[in-house]
């Protein structure tokens, strides 16, 4: 009987431990690790894009760096998570760096990924060595409205309803019209459109709404690490 009780306790402890670790490691992204090097790089793709967008870039760095390539939850076929937000994704990346003891990584982000890089450098200066933001703005909405101010309570319901109620064909056509003007290499159009189509529609709508309400202009003034911003002429006023 004592042996059975001990065995039962061990099983319960193991199950509890698995549950705890499962929860603590439930990051809001899928990550692929490649390369070997003492210095690490974390690649964050743009809105609704797969981490594969960095494949050709990684080839340059994998010989000397350890590369962590993310695809955010709900984007490009990666399973969605409830209550996604720009802030929760930022915290998730910071937790991943801390829990996996990644020493002072370089963060390279495109578009929304660049926004996350800026936020991480400002909010977690002890974790980051430097950032590179590609075609990323601290406040996307300010591009059209320089006096834009984010709302403390932002209702994304209407936008979510509009996007989620579209048929698959309507959503595909919407992306097919939008994507080409964002690409230098139009041969990649169908690939990028398909990443959007494979994205969870609710995550797509809510994150677009949330990111459109994000204003990092004051926050980035506190960034202390080296930061490189690469912008197409379209983004420069």
pLDDT of residue 19: 34
pLDDT of residue 182: 79
CA 61 to chain centre: 20
Q: Are 181 and 202 in contact (CB under 8 A)?
A: no
pLDDT of residue 2: 43
pLDDT of residue 234: 66
* 106, β-bridge pairs: 41, 130
pLDDT of residue 181: 78
pLDDT of residue 83: 86
* Backbone dihedral angles phi then psi of residue 58, each to the nearest 5 degrees: -60, -35
> Mean pLDDT, 10 residues at a time, over the chain (237 residues)?
39 34 69 96 97 96 97 98 94 98 98 98 98 95 91 83 91 89 84 95 93 96 97 70
**How far is Cα 68 from Cα 145, in angstroms, rounded to an integer?**
35
pLDDT of residue 185: 83
pLDDT of residue 21: 31
| DSSP output for the chain | -HHHHHHHHHHHHHHHHHHHHHHHT--SEEEEEE---SEEEEEE--TT--GGGGHHHHHHHTTTEEEEEEEETTSTTSPP-TT--HHHHHHHHHHHHHHTT--S-EEEEETHHHHHHHHHHHH-TTT-SEEEEES--S-GGGGT-TT----SS---HHHHHHHHTS-HHHHHHHHHHHGGGG-SSGGGHHHHHHHHHTS-HHHHHHHHHHHHT---TTGGGG--S-EEEE--GGG--
| Cα angle 210-211-213, degrees, rounded to a multiple of 5 | 65
């Amino acid at each position: 009987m004592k042996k059975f009780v001990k065995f039962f306790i061990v099983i319960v402890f193991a199950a509890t431990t698995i549950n705890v670790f499962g929860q603590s490691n439930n990051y809001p992204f899928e990550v692929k690790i490649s390369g070997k090097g003492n210095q690490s790089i974390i690649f964050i793709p743009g809105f609704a894009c797969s981490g594969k967008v960095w494949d050709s870039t990684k080839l340059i760095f994998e010989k000397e760096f350890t590369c962590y390539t993310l695809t955010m939850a709900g984007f490009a076929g990666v399973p969605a998570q409830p209550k996604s937000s720009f802030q929760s994704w930022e915290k998730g990346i910071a937790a991943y760096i801390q829990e996996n003891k990644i020493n002072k990584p370089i963060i390279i982000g495109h578009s929304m990924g660049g926004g996350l890089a800026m936020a991480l450098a400002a909010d977690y200066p002890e974790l980051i060595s430097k950032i590179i933001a590609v075609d990323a703005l601290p406040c996307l909405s300010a591009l059209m409205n320089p006096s834009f101010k984010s709302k403390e309570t932002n209702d994304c319901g209407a936008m979510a309803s509009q996007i989620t109620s579209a048929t698959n064909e309507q959503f595909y056509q919407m992306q097919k019209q939008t994507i080409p003007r964002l690409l230098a290499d139009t041969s990649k159009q169908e690939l990028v459109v398909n990443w959007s189509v494979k994205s969870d529609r609710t995550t797509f709508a809510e994150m677009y709404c949330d990111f459109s309400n994000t204003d990092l202009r004051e926050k980035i003034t506190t960034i202390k690490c080296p930061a490189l911003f690469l912008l197409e002429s379209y983004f420069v006023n």
